[in-house]
Amino acid sequence: MRHQKKTLKLGRTAEHRKALLANQVCSLIEHQRIKTTLAKAKAVRPLAEKIVTLGKNGSLHARRNALSILRQKDAVNKLFDEIAPRSTDRNGGYTRIVKLGQRKSDSASMAFIEWVDAAKATEEKAPKEKAPKQQKEPAAPPKESAPPPAEEPKPKKRKWFGKKSSEPEK
């Protein structure tokens, strides 16, 4: 029976899984939003929530605990200085998972995981307006002061065997 064994294993050993999740949380702290598979996003969410709770505490002990989990000093500093203060009035639910659909290569479910309190990570771009298609005008007769004709292009090399098309075969 699997009672109280809710860890998503992700097909990795325990050490590899811990390192993967710590790196994902550090990337989330640094970039505010990351694109990953849905299974990894669901595995990252509980760890990110616990780290933010440590950041809200703000004590030296909490900072050292966060550093022991994340192992990146700049990520811990950003967490305690920027991300945790934004979430002081919130009691959990610091992250959001947005499903994106299937990845083309292997059809894995993809998702964004992002901070709920973060400002828009990417601004929505207005669609570019297409220029109206111009109708082709009839070619004007050449003027007397036309530039001299360009030199004739050299014959192209054939892609196979590196022989020129003008060379006779031996």
Please tell me the pTM assigned to this model: 0.69
Q: State how far the alpha carbon of 47 is from the alpha carbons of 95, 138, 148, in Å.
A: 10, 67, 71
State how far the alpha carbon of 85 is from the alpha carbons of 52, 55, 66, 115, in Å. Answer: 9, 8, 15, 13
30 Cβ contact list (under 8 Å, min separation 6)? 75, 78
The predicted-structure confidence for 7-39, as pLDDT tens digits, reads as follows: 899 999 999 999 999 999 999 999 999 999 999
Residue 125 has what DSSP assignment?
P
For the segment 98-142, what is each residue's pLDDT rounded down to a tens digit? 999 999 999 999 999 999 998 764 555 566 777 677 776 666 665
Q: Which domains does the chain have, with CATH numbers?
A: 14-115 (3.90.1030.10)
